Structure formats: structure tokens, C-alpha cells
Structure 1
Amino acid sequence: IDDLGQCQCTKKGMELTHNYTGRSVIPVPLRMSMGDGDLPQGYPFPYVTPVRGHWFSHPGGGRCPLGAAPGDGGCTWQRAALSHSVYTADLLAAGLNNTFHQTGRGMAVDEATAFHNVEVGRRVLDSMNLPPCGAPSPADGMGPADVVIV
């Protein structure tokens, strides 16, 4: 990692990013810049610790084909058989604050707004009464050949 906190990845390291799930800190306050490839002035920005959230990326190159499990044929991840969606309209109805500050090609969300929105998201997810992550779901065990008639 260089003085600006950027990873100087090897060719092999970059190749791995095409197949393996990546995780990055979501810094609060959140600042983003749509620059021309240059780092914005003041980067890396200070953020609140401890870290309270992460962004996960699941590259298409590692996705398991339907019916395959992670590890089969070198695939590294698969969506759960049962997934859930939360829509922006649901979050707004629950009190999401969509305030942000824009300067040129950059934007920022302040700390208070970010933490408020985290709590809104938690309340919406809690209201869905979902099983804990990793717990069996009713859809577990179903393969591509299974037929469900409703």
C-alpha cells in the first residue's frame, strides 16, 4: 500500500479480482468523486472508526452455474436460492434521508445522515422477519430440476 492508501496490486492479484468476492470499507462520512482518474484533493479522507459497513463485490467470473456449489469447476460464489429485495421507495417511506452535498464532480453524505440511513435500512430489513444469514431457508435443497406448482 502506498502513501495514499492505494494498493499496488500484482498482475496475479488483479486476476484474482475477476473470480473472488471483494470487500471494501464504506467510509463515513461518505465522499465520492467522479474524477478523470486522478485522486481527489485530500484523499484518503478521514472516516469514523470503528468501521460500521462494507461493500461487497461479486465478480461475474466467479459465479457458479445454476445447480453448482462454490468450488465446483473453480466457481467461487452463488446467490442463495431465496433472496429478498428492498426498494428505494420502501426506504424513503421508512424515513431515508437522501440529502447529499455536491461539489463539481464529487458528492458527500455527512456522518449524521449516513448513520440515520443505516438505522432506516436496519428497521426495514428487521420488519421483513428474515432468517439469520446462513440459516436454512425454505428454498434450500431445490435444484434446477425441481418443479413447484402453486
Structure 2
Amino acid sequence: MSERSRTIKLFCPSISKLLPFVALEEQRLDLGSIARTFGLDPATLKLNGHFISRGVDLIASSVTWKSLLSFFSARGLSTGANDADALIVDGKLCKVGTKRAHNPRDGEGGNHQTTECDGLALTKKAQLNDVNQLKKQKMKENNLGMLV
């Protein structure tokens, strides 16, 4: 039994980007991949203004594309059928130049940056504390070497 796939148009107004997204109807929503596609923080991602619950892996726990699109259709919201009816993807933008976990879809030469918004990077304050500790340690070692 083969599942039907469909192309869903996604539009992110904060970056003015419209993209086709191919998904199986019975596939659970991978909100992490949608967020990465648009450079958004996965924790803040909303589709058509609705927050979809997700697990730690950023995949919707019980919502499939078919059920989500039926929900939106019943309420007269966009369903991503075409460019004019694209699903609205909204969320906070990830900070440029921050770290994000390697995305296996990027391939060998792909994006190896990591994003602070995936919760994997250190905060700026923690990074500064680490740098300061290293500087203090080097100064102590240099001072000890000079005394001998």
C-alpha cells in the first residue's frame, strides 16, 4: 500500500520566501526541518498562526499532514495547494552566525554550522566565562614560569 505524497507550498513572510515542501499525507510533521528550511527557531514555529505540539525530536507527536490540512481547510485557512494559498510559516529568526546541529540532508559538504536556537550552543555569557578562565590560567602559568 503506497502512501500519497503531495506538494505543499510554504510561505515565510518574515524572510519573504515561498518554497514547495513534499510530504506524505500520513507522515507526521517534521517541524524541525521546516524551521531549518526558513532559518527559524523550531521552538517558536507556527503554521497558519497555530502552534503544533512536538516531541523532543521536533516531530509532531500525533499530527499528520493530512489531518492538519483538513483542519485548516475546515476553518477556511490556507492549505498550501498553490502559491496563492500557501501555508504561513512564522517564528523567531535564528541569529546569524550562531551554531546549529549538522543537518544530514545537507550532505558531506553541507552546512556544518549549529544554531543557538536548537538549544545546543553555549550562551554568549558562558562562552565569555570560558575564555576568561583560559586567560587567567595562561597568565598564572606564565607568571610561574617567570618566577623560576
Q: Give the TM-score category using the shorter length.
A: under 0.3
Structure number with the higher strand fraction is: 2
* TM-score with structure 1 setting the length: 0.23
